[in-house]
Amino acid sequence: MASSPRPPVERVRPPKAPYRVVNRLVRTLLSTPSRARRIGRHLLLLHVTGRRSGRQLVFPVAYRDNGDGRLLVLTNSPWRVNLRDRPDVAVTLLGRQRPARAHLVEDPDRVATVYRALIEAVGHQRAGRRMGIRINVPRTPTHEELAEAARRDRLALVYLDVEGGTR
Q: What is the pLDDT of residues 12-33, one digit of tens each?
A: 877 778 878 888 888 888 888 8
Whole-model pTM: value is: 0.90
Q: How far is the C-alpha of 121 from the C-alpha of 12, rounded, in Å?
A: 20
Question: Which CATH number is 24's domain given?
Answer: 2.30.110.10
Full DSSP string of 57-81: EEEEEE-EE-SSS-EEEEE--GGGG
Boundaries of domain holding 106? 14-162
Domain count, the chain: 1
Mean of pLDDT over the chain: 90
| For the chain, percent of residues with pLDDT exceeding 70 | 96
Q: What pLDDT, on a 0 to 100 scale, did the predictor assign at position 13?
A: 79
In a domain, 9, yes or no: no
Q: What pLDDT, on a 0 to 100 scale, did the predictor assign at position 101?
A: 97
In a domain, 2, yes or no: no
Q: What is the DSSP letter of 41?
A: G
In a domain, 114, yes or no: yes
The CB density around residue 113, as the number of other CB atoms within 10 Å, is 16
Q: What pLDDT, on a 0 to 100 scale, did the predictor assign at position 3?
A: 60
Q: How far is the C-alpha of 9 from the C-alpha of 118, rounded, in Å?
A: 14
Q: What pLDDT, on a 0 to 100 scale, did the predictor assign at position 17?
A: 80
Task: Tell me which amino acid residue 23 is.
Answer: N
In a domain, 167, yes or no: no
In a domain, 3, yes or no: no
Q: What pLDDT, on a 0 to 100 scale, did the predictor assign at position 88?
A: 94
* Pairing assessment for the beta strands 9-11 and 133-135 based on DSSP bridges: antiparallel
Of residues 2 and 98, more confidence is placed in: 98
In a domain, 108, yes or no: yes
In a domain, 6, yes or no: no
Q: Is the pLDDT assigned to residue 36 strictly greater than 60? A: yes
Span 37-67, pLDDT tens digits = 878 889 999 999 998 888 999 999 999 999 9
Question: What separation in angstroms does the CA of 127 have from each of 9, 75, 121, 122, 124?
Answer: 11, 14, 9, 6, 5
Q: Is the pLDDT assigned to residue 4 strictly greater than 80? A: no
Span 81-117, pLDDT tens digits = 999 988 999 999 999 999 999 999 999 999 999 999 9
Average pLDDT over residues 133-161: 96
In a domain, 106, yes or no: yes
Helix (H, G, I), strand (E, B) or coil at 83: helix
